[in-house]
Structure 1
Amino acid sequence: MIILKSKKISKNLLTPAKTLVIGFLFMITLGTILLSLPIASANGVRIPFLNALFSATSATCVTGLAVIDTGTQFSLFGQIVMIVLVQVGGIGFMTMATIIALALNKRISLRERLILQEALNHGTINGVVRLVKKVILYSLLVELAGALLLGLHFFFMQNLSLGRALYFGIFHSISLFNNAGFDLMGTVNGPFSGLAPFVADPFINMITMVLVFLGGVGFIVLSDLIEFPNTRKISLHSKVVLTATTILIVVGTVAIFAMEFNNPYTLKPLHAGGKFLASMFQSVTTRSGGVSTLDIGAFHESTQFLLILLMFTGAAPGSTGGGIKITTFVLLLGAVHAMIRGRNDVILFRKRIAKDVVYKAITLTLLSILLVIVFSMLLSITEHQDFLTILFESTSAFGTTGLSMGLTSQLTPLGKVWIICLMFFGRIGPLTLIYALTRLRKNEPFNYPEGRIIIG
């Protein structure tokens, strides 16, 4: 009886937040073991453990930061391990487990639905299993379309063999849709070349931006958009995400275009159309895409700081992207606007937002800022780089963006550990991590007397 009771207690203590943390740790551990095998290395020599751990974490957390070039340093086996980690990490291991369970006609329990709700940032458990089915369906359809378009382009325009072109298409489509940013272009244009050779290629640019955008707006928004012809309704969440995303893309594009217009190392060599395309590409991918057609280290410092702000804001909840999430950013602006206007409530699209949601947004933002500050300080101790480069790297890791000013490949062993921690915390989310490390929350059975302090 005692043993049964302890098992029951331990099971109850395994909250959805703890389950997510343990699940991601398991995926990272498994990925590290597989990438450490000699068969995962292109030259058959075992990849150092820390590099394998860094790569597995970056892939599982769909970040894209790389200490070794994916195309030239990993074998076919290693590349497949990486892209599987990206796929599972992007749509969520609980989503994959649920689909397998449904395929085996297994019933999804209430506890599993609660975990899915936490994993997908869904507002309620109602319809969460139905959302999981949509996540898988939409992901496969988008990735398949992207793979075919990219594969045909690589075959006809890059003169790759049909098999290799299709493989490249599949790999990059999965990587881009999941906002991971890993690429195999090192085998064609040299290690760490990325998408820079395609800076003036409209087709690659547009396909990449569409894949990153669709992965970044989130599955709830995708579901609303696909079902709109039938329902003729768009949820408040989707309205906020689509409106704010469009505004940030436009503002980012215009700002990058203006600040880098005469920079001889970035936009200046390009024609007018190329300048605009490169500016838009960078504005879109900075939100969490992790790929770049320009040298980030060659940007003006003002542009680099703008990219830091965009990376910190990130993508939408329930998406494959990171950051504090765009809805959090909008709620913060809404709270400021409400305070200035003397309102008690935050109003968005004529809807009042619950105060606990606003408090959650403020808490998430402050915890995120604290994480970036602490790890930036730690990196400034171990890495011999200017602070803007370190801050950029920290924000990119936390926002699971994957962009770098060149620091990633030069990280010290301890610096790699700091970035690994930041990527993990950024993917899990500060609030989920806090909930996983603390006891079950209980409401106080009483109210404290009201007090006042002076602000401003």
Structure 2
Amino acid sequence: MAHLPAPLRRMVFHTHPARMVAIAFGITVVIGTTLLALPVATTDGTSAPLLTALFTATSAVCVTGLVVVDTGTYWSGFGEGVILALIQVGGFGIMALASLLALLMAGKLRLRMTLSLQAETKSSGIGDVRSVLRRVALITLTVEAVTATILTLRLFLGRGEPFDRSLYYGVFHAVSAFNNAGFGLYADSLVGYAEDPWVMLPVAGAVILGGIGFPVIIELLRHRSRRRTTGRVGWSLHLKLTLLTTAVLLVAGTAMTLLLEWSNRGTLGPLGVGGKALGAFFHSAMSRTAGFNATDIAAMEPATLLGTCALMFIGGGSGGTAGGIKVTTFAVLGVAILAEVRGEPSSGIFGRKLAPHVLRQALTVALLGVGLVMASSIALLAMVDARADLVLFETVSAFGTVGLSAGLTYDLPAAAELILIMLMFIGRVGPITLVSALALRERRRRYQLPEERPIIG
């Protein structure tokens, strides 16, 4: 590295961890775009348009799933392999993968890389990073392998598909599911398997596990082993908030979809009672940033689309493959609102008081998300002739790195595609991480301003 120019050396070695995460994702998107723009990446042997390659690469790295071309027919085996690799890299984490390679090659991590990995994986401390890295890799490979095995056997034994095709489709959809990417090789996503629990449930299970976040899974595994030795279990506030909020939103989303789509002949109407329940549960799970669909999204009731937008905006757990503002952000804001309505001086839940800076962070993430979605929706409405609810749906899907689409993405002009690309990148990197990365410098105020209370409400 000594031969590098001084400005480049400073960028590599002295960059703020948040900025390094954003740069790493950006570089990976560029690499993916270059590979997908090669003639060998398409089925007809012609180079994909640059914007198509950029959109697809960004969607894969940011584990979103929105596409402007059909994945299974437009891209060749090489192109699909590139997409699958980008999904795995983006879901596992750019800095996590780089750190893993550094450990394998040199057996040590630089402090700057350790801090970047901590910022990306939400590790609790610097000394915890190596352990987190090993566990993240083990969890990822285990869940993907189990899901791929179930899907492969189902396609081969239950659907009569050739074994090589069953294995390929099983692995691709398993990786896409656990990483909450939503990329599928079927033109209609998983509509053809709407009443097949051996396909729907493994995919939904992988999505939920990837969506609750690695910190939660790792803590559950630690407490399981600790309970065997000590007989005691002490869950952290983050774990309790994530599991409780995830369960509530999953049940609420299922009930909402069942209620609103029960008689809709374009979605759940033609299915039996079991198929309706399975379809509603699957849609609720996918709305948490996964992107697969087993029903026609465009045929859903406007009320269902709006409710799905709320689920997509909230997203999944922190430090995992999910997007959105995260369930803990939503829960913290809910607790703060409840405390304010009750007139309590501070916010608390599960016997713990929430720190003021946590409330500020939650409010910042939520308001930045609302501002980005609203501004982008207004811009898209000025560019396309489409219903406002469909435009909002595509916008929230991009920001939440969900990938569900009402069919609008295929017909967007170039400027609109660039807006969605920007939203997908921000949604994966994170609003606060990106803002921190773009900040010119950190400032510390050495004085206190006089206090004054404006009228609120």
TM-score bracket relative to the smaller structure: over 0.9
- Rounded to whole Å, the distance in 1 between the matches of 2:183 and 2:16 is 32
1:199 aligns with 2:194: yes
User: Counterpart in 2 of 1:267?
Assistant: 268
Sequence identity, in percent?
39
CA pair 309-6 structure 1, distance change in 2 beyond 3 A: closer
- Rounded to whole Å, the distance in 1 between the matches of 2:252 and 2:23 is 39
User: Counterpart in 1 of 2:404?
Assistant: 403
Tell me if the contact between 2:122 and 2:215 (Cα under 8 Å) persists in the aligned partners. no
Deviates more, 1:102-111 or 1:443-452: 102-111
CA pair 5-60 structure 1, distance change in 2 beyond 3 A: closer
User: Counterpart in 2 of 1:189?
Assistant: none
CA pair 227-12 structure 1, distance change in 2 beyond 3 A: closer
CA pair 111-257 structure 1, distance change in 2 beyond 3 A: same
SS at 1:244 equivalent: helix
SS at 2:27 equivalent: helix
SS at 2:309 equivalent: helix
- Rounded to whole Å, the distance in 1 between the matches of 2:116 and 2:321 is 17
Letter in 2 for 1:430: P
1:222 aligns with 2:206: no
Letter in 2 for 1:229: R
User: Counterpart in 1 of 2:360?
Assistant: 359
- 1:277-321 deviation per Cα after TM superposition (whole angstroms, max 9, x unaligned): 100110011011100100111111001000000000001000101
Tell me if the contact between 2:123 and 2:132 (Cα under 8 Å) persists in the aligned partners. no
CA pair 109-344 structure 1, distance change in 2 beyond 3 A: farther
Cα shift at 1:252? 0.9
- Rounded to whole Å, the distance in 2 between the matches of 1:84 and 1:409 is 23
User: Counterpart in 2 of 1:449?
Assistant: 450
User: Counterpart in 1 of 2:70?
Assistant: 69
Alignment gaps of 5+ in structure 2: 227-232
- 1:100-122 deviation per Cα after TM superposition (whole angstroms, max 9, x unaligned): 11111332122111101111123
Deviates more, 1:225-234 or 1:263-272: 225-234
- Rounded to whole Å, the distance in 2 between the matches of 1:108 and 1:180 is 29
**1:86-235 alignment, distance < 5 Å:** 86-185=87-186, 192-231=187-226, 232-235=233-236
SS at 1:104 equivalent: helix
Cα shift at 1:238? 1.1
User: Counterpart in 2 of 1:290?
Assistant: 291
Cα shift at 1:274? 0.9
Cα shift at 1:226? 2.1
- Rounded to whole Å, the distance in 1 between the matches of 2:106 and 2:124 is 26
Number of residue pairs the alignment of both structures matches = 448
Query: Alignment RMSD, CA only?
Result: 1.5
- Rounded to whole Å, the distance in 1 between the matches of 2:94 and 2:273 is 44
Deviates more, 1:373-382 or 1:122-131: 122-131
Normalised by the length of structure 2, the TM-score is 0.95
Normalised by the length of structure 1, the TM-score is 0.96
Tell me if the contact between 2:204 and 2:282 (Cα under 8 Å) persists in the aligned partners. yes
- Rounded to whole Å, the distance in 2 between the matches of 1:221 and 1:229 is 12
- Rounded to whole Å, the distance in 2 between the matches of 1:218 and 1:228 is 16
User: Counterpart in 2 of 1:304?
Assistant: 305
- 1:323-369 deviation per Cα after TM superposition (whole angstroms, max 9, x unaligned): 00000000000110111122222212111111101100001110110
- Rounded to whole Å, the distance in 2 between the matches of 1:344 and 1:127 is 34
- 1:118-166 deviation per Cα after TM superposition (whole angstroms, max 9, x unaligned): 1112343230221011000100010011111111111112222111111
- Rounded to whole Å, the distance in 2 between the matches of 1:81 and 1:64 is 14
Alignment gaps of 5+ in structure 1: 186-191
Cα shift at 1:12? 6.3
Letter in 1 for 2:369: S
- 1:382-415 deviation per Cα after TM superposition (whole angstroms, max 9, x unaligned): 1111111100000000000000111011111111
- 1:181-206 deviation per Cα after TM superposition (whole angstroms, max 9, x unaligned): 01112xxxxxx311001111111111
CA pair 125-384 structure 1, distance change in 2 beyond 3 A: same
User: Counterpart in 1 of 2:373?
Assistant: 372
- Rounded to whole Å, the distance in 2 between the matches of 1:208 and 1:331 is 29
Cα shift at 1:8? 7.2
CA pair 9-408 structure 1, distance change in 2 beyond 3 A: closer
- Rounded to whole Å, the distance in 2 between the matches of 1:13 and 1:433 is 17
- Rounded to whole Å, the distance in 2 between the matches of 1:261 and 1:72 is 33
User: Counterpart in 2 of 1:318?
Assistant: 319
Letter in 2 for 1:205: M
- Rounded to whole Å, the distance in 2 between the matches of 1:217 and 1:140 is 16
Letter in 1 for 2:208: F
User: Counterpart in 1 of 2:277?
Assistant: 276
SS at 1:422 equivalent: helix
- Rounded to whole Å, the distance in 1 between the matches of 2:11 and 2:397 is 36
Cα shift at 1:11? 5.4
Letter in 2 for 1:426: G
- Rounded to whole Å, the distance in 1 between the matches of 2:175 and 2:10 is 40
Cα shift at 1:20? 0.9
- Rounded to whole Å, the distance in 2 between the matches of 1:180 and 1:42 is 22
- 1:244-293 deviation per Cα after TM superposition (whole angstroms, max 9, x unaligned): 10010011111110111111111111111111110011001101110010
- Rounded to whole Å, the distance in 2 between the matches of 1:332 and 1:29 is 36
- Rounded to whole Å, the distance in 1 between the matches of 2:93 and 2:239 is 21
- Rounded to whole Å, the distance in 1 between the matches of 2:5 and 2:191 is 59
CA pair 9-40 structure 1, distance change in 2 beyond 3 A: closer
SS at 2:106 equivalent: coil
